[in-house]
Structure 1
């Protein structure tokens, strides 16, 4: 990626790639077609709302007219069809179901990393904003749990624009707090999953947005339980440097740190490059195994490209 390309994208996204602003989150109000929140499977809970269920009964969406049967509600008799056919017919409606959308957004220390365009945390915030605006446009209630290593901010599922603005407000506040020196909390992700498990109503669509670098056994158990009652989708945010070390012509040492430990890597060293890639592949496979066991669909999102480029291409939509 060239410097000019990066600058152009940052200008389009209204961001500097590190801090969050209201303008960059509001931008996704115009890009809701990038994601499809339609149910992928039959409802898993007995809720009322805007999704058509298989059960037929009294509701707002007309399904068919059939012959009157003993026990049918006489108030549902279709008198026009009855008069036309000479046989009593009753109207059948398909019940409506509500499916709240709930988003877990990870802004912890490991997400405060980026090498080409955005910090992973900023990309996660963009994705949270996009999903929230998409849910609001569909008429779904949308809520979120936004957290870093010290803060957990919960937005209860609400409808329309105020719900999204509340989520954007928490994204801004938590990311701003994350830029201050914070000691990493390796159990923070598991704690957040436990909170989502308690607050997400059965039948909800739940998005887990994280780099999943700290998926403990406890977190895995919470995800498994959550997927039994909700439709869960994982959005794995990564950075290009996490996939492979830079390919440089000459071997050169560089110091790297996670804020606590410091190491020296040899860029351009083929043995270290191979060892790093093997470690990364193993980590990715372990995370994917967790998703498969929990029957959670997942998608990889790069912090090195705008969401417009990635989601527009993958879902076959125009920008």
Structure 2
């Protein structure tokens, strides 16, 4: 159980652009009103699952096998025994504490917002909130951060001191982002997933927080493989401009670019075409991730940049 931590002094940063370490530490106080475990309130996005695959504690059914000398007769399965004529017992294994790995995207594309808060800030704060909740549940927590330079992997530990060090690094990475940030080749979504795979997670909860902009079908296939022995929860951070562009944009003569290519949105037809492509890409992206989550009957959680991401996340995960 994590002990309350005195938050360090705030750096007085613009909270819309950057999150500071003090803010990430203070989120510990908001990790009480929701759970990453299956004790969910009725009507929540996760309710209705009969047997959550988020690991809890207790005994897990492992197999049904023939009775052997020394087996506890209290574990006899009488229905199977009567049907087959041979004694069968239900075998159980003790549940282990979870490893919770929070994978948070802090690459250059996350430094964007058309509303209130940068996607990078949303992702960092949800990562910190999830990590605090996991630590309060007595689980081991690790944070994997994708930066424009590299992917930083931290081994899960049941240590508040360790988590504080990870949050300090996350805040530093977040504050390093700016309009000139450019991603290196080794930090693509595929590289990110490959790094997770190399750590060989098993019976873990993997929480991916990203805009998923460069996640292709190949990466989704890899996540499906990870989903076989782990619980993969996808959290998408989107901005309104990534769904559709406003019609009046043509009057502003906007020029948009990605650092290599530029597009002049100076006519209504160009804006309409760009908006249509955004809508199609966004729809396909959501559908693919929703299918991944459906494997274990989990929701596809989508957060926006309106500044309400904490309450949105708690509502979706079954909090209040």
Band of TM-score, shorter chain: 0.7 to 0.9
Q: Does residue 87 of structure 2 align to residue 100 of structure 1?
A: no
- Is 2:243–2:282's contact at 8 Å kept on the other side of the alignment? no
Q: Does residue 57 of structure 2 align to residue 51 of structure 1?
A: yes
Q: Which structure: larger Rg?
A: 1
What displacement does 1:182 show?
3.5
Match of 2:304 in 1: 302
What's the secondary structure of 1:215's corresponding residue?
coil
Match of 2:219 in 1: 219
Using the alignment, how far apart are the partners of 2:264 and 2:273 within structure 1? 14
Instruction: Kindly report which structure 2 residues correspond to 1:126-275, keeping only aligned pairs within 5 A, or say none.
Output: 126-179=125-178, 181-185=180-184, 188-199=188-199, 201-248=201-248, 251-266=251-266, 269=268, 271-275=269-273
1:190-238: per-residue Cα shift (whole Å, max 9, x none)?
Answer: 1011111222521111111110111134423321221121110110101
Quickly say closer, same or farther: Cα 1:155–1:315, change in 2 above 3 A: closer
What displacement does 1:152 show?
1.6
1:123-180: per-residue Cα shift (whole Å, max 9, x none)?
Answer: 1001100000010111111112101221221111011422321221221232233338
Using the alignment, how far apart are the partners of 2:241 and 2:252 within structure 1? 16
What displacement does 1:73 show?
7.0
- Is 2:35–2:318's contact at 8 Å kept on the other side of the alignment? no
What's the secondary structure of 1:236's corresponding residue?
strand
Quickly say closer, same or farther: Cα 1:145–1:256, change in 2 above 3 A: same
What displacement does 1:105 show?
0.8
Structure 1: segments with no counterpart, 5+ residues: 1-10, 57-68, 75-91
Using the alignment, how far apart are the partners of 2:22 and 2:308 within structure 1? 15
What displacement does 1:291 show?
2.5
What displacement does 1:21 show?
0.7
Quickly say closer, same or farther: Cα 1:249–1:125, change in 2 above 3 A: closer
Using the alignment, how far apart are the partners of 1:34 and 1:217 within structure 2? 35
Using the alignment, how far apart are the partners of 2:150 and 2:243 within structure 1? 29
- Is 1:210–1:237's contact at 8 Å kept on the other side of the alignment? yes
Q: Which has the higher strand share?
A: 1
- Is 1:42–1:53's contact at 8 Å kept on the other side of the alignment? no
What displacement does 1:36 show?
2.4
What's the secondary structure of 1:245's corresponding residue?
coil
Quickly say closer, same or farther: Cα 1:164–1:223, change in 2 above 3 A: same
Quickly say closer, same or farther: Cα 1:162–1:180, change in 2 above 3 A: farther
Using the alignment, how far apart are the partners of 1:51 and 1:227 within structure 2? 20
* Highest RCO, 1 vs 2 (Cα 8 Å, sep ≥ 6): 2
Match of 2:279 in 1: 281
Structure 2: segments with no counterpart, 5+ residues: 1-9, 39-48, 63-67, 74-90
- Is 1:200–1:206's contact at 8 Å kept on the other side of the alignment? no
Match of 1:83 in 2: none
